A and B are shown apart, each in its own frame.
Chain A
Amino acid sequence: MEESEVKLIRRCQTGDKDAFGAIVKRYAGAARGAAVLILGSYEDALDASQEAFVRAWRHIRTFDTEAPFYPWYAAILRNVCISKMRRRSGRRTVELVDGQARSSADSDPILLAERNERRDRIWRAIQALSPPHREIIVMNHFQGLSYKEIAAALDIPIGTVMSRLHAARQVLKSSLSDEEE
């Protein structure tokens, strides 16, 4: 039987790397997939998701074991992805760079389970979204974060989470219906 997350985190806080290994293995698939959607490159996603785990380990002692691990990790991963895109673009003030994901040759939905034509199309439509829209769709739908968790990760009010998510879904719907026409 799998050990509970709380117990694993408590062991991590005593410096137990094996326990952290179990946490990493539990969330590696989700982390890798979310980073591919944000960064558009498999290699970059692998690097960013691993770097985010390293940062999580460094701060694991300050983590509140009452809270779930993944939303905390997802916020770290988001910061790592932004830093990576910024380094990639060579610009300091840019946040998520528009079009970077689309331009990558690795942007095929290689990490999608049970693929079909429709899902491939949705994947591509997500990658064609503007960076803030793409990010909020990934956090909500693929990382399963609540509005409250997204608000904390992005440092924005919950109302803004809802309106941004609504706008992102509108663009997504419209680009999918455009393709169908």
Chain B
Amino acid sequence: MNCDEFKPMLTGYVDGELSAELRAALEQHLDGCEACNRELASLSRLKEELAMMKFKEPTDVELERYWHSVYNRLERGLGWVLFSLGAIIVLCYGGFKLVEEIVRDPGVAVLLKVGIVALVFGTVILFVSLLRERLAVVKVDRYSKEVER
């Protein structure tokens, strides 16, 4: 193996992620290679510098606010499901009753009846189509899925 093949392994070596076999082969190479030793030193420096960079710890007030925000989302999740379900039932029932009433009303012009029926059914078709599209996207969208553990 030459330097180009060993160089990516230097990263694994610095991180302690190499297998015993690869580590031994790399150490043997490092015994006689100045360029790889220089590379190893600079990678180690960078790792040390990155290790020194820490995120600010949030204050207690920030943590409380953060958790409240998460908690509200947890609560609202169920609320939105119930709200959406209720809205769909009410809208479907209302739409059906409206169409039924208009169709049965002899005082309403036939053209208007056709228009309203088309409007209601068009809305239903569009809604179902959008729903199907969204479900199809979720199915193939690997980033919307959670990680199994």
Contact = CB atoms under 8 A, between A and B. Distances in A.
Interface residues of A, number: 58
Contact of A50 (B69, B77, B143, B149): B69
Contacts of A141: 47, 50-51, 53
Contacts of A54: 70, 73-74, 77
B73 A147 contact: no
Nearest to B75: A17
Contacts, number: 124
Nearest to B42: A173
A87 to B, nearest CB: 11
Given A32-B55, A147-B15, A162-B11, A59 B73 contact: no
Interface string A9-28: 00000000100110011001
Contacts of A172: 46
B36 to A, nearest CB: 13
Most buried by A among B7, B17, B57, B149: B149
B74 A25 contact: no
Contact of A59 (B53, B74, B142, B146): B146
B55 A75 contact: no
Given A25-B63, A141-B50, A166-B11, A113 B57 contact: yes
Interface of B: 7-12, 15, 17, 42-43, 46-47, 49-58, 62-63, 66-67, 69-71, 73-74, 77, 141-149
Interface of A: 17, 20-21, 24-25, 28-30, 32-34, 46, 50-51, 53-59, 62-64, 67, 72, 75-76, 79-80, 82-83, 86, 111-114, 118-119, 122-123, 137, 140-142, 146-147, 152-153, 158, 162-163, 165-166, 169, 172-173, 176
19 contacts: A17-B71, A20-B74, A24-B66, A29-B56, A29-B58, A30-B55, A33-B55, A46-B66, A50-B69, A57-B74, A58-B77, A67-B149, A75-B147, A114-B52, A119-B53, A123-B53, A141-B51, A173-B46, A176-B46
